[in-house]
Amino acid sequence: MKITFPHMGNMHIAIKALLEGLKLEVIPPPPISQKTFELGIKNSPEFACMPLKINVGNFIEALENGADTIVMAGGWGPCRFGYYAQIEKEILNDLGYDFDMVILEAPDSKIQELLKQLKAIGQNVTFWEFLKTVKYAWHKLNSVEELEKKLEHILPRTIEKNKAEQIYEQGLKKIDKARDKNEVDWHTKQSLAEMDKLPRHQEKILKIGLIGEIYTILEPSANYKIANYMAGLNAEVTRSVYTSEWVNDHLLGGLVKPSNHQKILKSSKPYLNYSVGGHGRETVGNAVDFARKSFDGIVQIGPLTCMPEIVAQSVLGVVSREENIPCMTLYFDEHSGTAGIYTRLEAFIDMLRRKETGQIATI
């Protein structure tokens, strides 16, 4: 059995560790590229959102590389996503690929169910081996996230922006290759220390909250790396979603680390009192949360046609007025030109900076 899975940000590092621990041969899809987009767009329904198209592209590329089993999340939510595994299976079958699809009926179900499903995929894995590998994958996930958070902190503050990105990319590769916990820890520590050493500037750092649809937030190639772009303008971007928090809240029932999911849902009141599908309510709650933490501005992102985010967007106008925080919304689909996106972001950052200091940043 040669197993593969869809990309979502840096999650592949932890998933790979998990599946390898279950004694499976893993063939991760190649990194998301223009080719992935083209394959996905060509073979998906036109009105589907970008995440589905990228998934399809991932699967085709992995199957071409020899994978014969796909693991995909399913379930009854959180939005159209609940059907994506089935649709993707149909699309790939129509294209003539021969493969098995394992759909983890995970999100928000009971943790025991998920663990049972995962263990069932494994090849003769004992219970203790299974627990150990889950723990190890969780550790890799958290180490990767330490790097991500460090980059978010350093990138807007350093003058060596390219260098910071390089250290981060190399750090990820080393964590991916590491064979045990000690190696992971060592490489994480090294990369963090290297980033800390980069020279910094003294300019004022703006704080931006990035909210919206989870895939678009976590997968940089689905949002044209806008977080790094804003960091280039000396704005620190804090995401509303980190992979480990999502796994903790939705897969592990909030048991592994303290969760602020309930607090976020509460913050959405009185602006949005009901679930509107997807993470629409979380988006509103996070906007309120960022505003109350005195962030300078909020950027909402999502794939074009994302209904939950459209609902949230219509509520954000009121949040922006009442909580006194500027909001901007960007939807992403297949563009080849990034100029329009960057022009709007630059204008947004200028606006925030002028409000803050009365100055427009020139070179």
Site residues (CB under 8 A) for another protein? 30-31, 33-36, 162, 233, 317, 326, 331, 339-340, 343-344, 346-348, 350-351, 354-355, 358, 360-363
**From the centroid of its chain, how far is CA 186?**
25
Strands (E), the chain: 2-4, 25-26, 69-73, 100-104, 206-212, 235-239, 297-303, 327-332
Name the residue nearer to another protein (CB basis): 165 or 185.
165
Name the residue nearer to another protein (CB basis): 195 or 341.
341
Provide the minimum distance between the beta carbon of 49 and another protein in the complex, in angstroms, as a whole number. Answer: 15
Three-state DSSP string of 138-164: HHHHHHHHHHHHHHHHHHHHECCHHHH
Provide the minimum distance between the beta carbon of 36 and another protein in the complex, in angstroms, as a whole number. Answer: 8
Q: Are the C-beta atoms of 137 and 180 separated by less than 8 Å? A: no
Provide the minimum distance between the beta carbon of 279 and another protein in the complex, in angstroms, as a whole number. Answer: 22
Provide the minimum distance between the beta carbon of 88 and another protein in the complex, in angstroms, as a whole number. Answer: 21
Provide the minimum distance between the beta carbon of 190 and another protein in the complex, in angstroms, as a whole number. Answer: 23
Q: Are the C-beta atoms of 353 and 359 separated by less than 8 Å? A: yes
Closest CA to 282 of 248, 219, 239: 239
Name the residue nearer to another protein (CB basis): 12 or 140.
12
Secondary structure class of 94 (helix, strand, coil): helix
Name the residue nearer to another protein (CB basis): 136 or 348.
348
Q: How far apart are CA 168 and CA 165, in angstroms?
A: 5
Name the residue nearer to another protein (CB basis): 128 or 339.
339
